[in-house]
Structure 1
Amino acid sequence: MKFYHFPLSGHAHRAHLFVSLLGLPHELIEVDLAAGAHKTPEFLALNPFGQVPVLDDDGTIISDSNAILVYLAKKSGQSQWLPEDAKGSAAVQRWLSVAAGELAYGPAAARLITVFGARFNPDEVIARAHILLARIEAHLAGRDWLVGNGPTIADVALYSYIASAPEGNVDLSGYPGVNAFLRRVEALPGFVPFAKTQAGLSAAA
Structure 2
Amino acid sequence: MPPHTITSLADLETLYAQPAPASLAKEVDYLHPHYRAFVEVAPFCLLSTSNATGGDCSPRGDAPGFVQVLDDRTLLLPDRRGNNRIDSLRNIVTDPRVGLLFLIPGINETLRISGTATISTDPALLERYTVDGKPPTTVLVIAIQTVYFQCARALVRSHLWSPEAQIARSALPSTGTMVATLSQNAIDGEAYDRELPERLRKTLY
Q: In which range does the TM-score fall when normalised by the shorter chain?
A: under 0.3
Normalising to structure 2: TM-score of the pair? Answer: 0.21
By percentage of residues, which structure has more strand? 2
For the pair shown, the structure with the greater C-alpha radius of gyration is: 2
Flag the structure with more relative contact order, 1 or 2, with Cα contacts below 8 A and sequence separation at least 6: 1
Task: Give the number of the structure whose residues are more often helix, by fraction.
Answer: 1
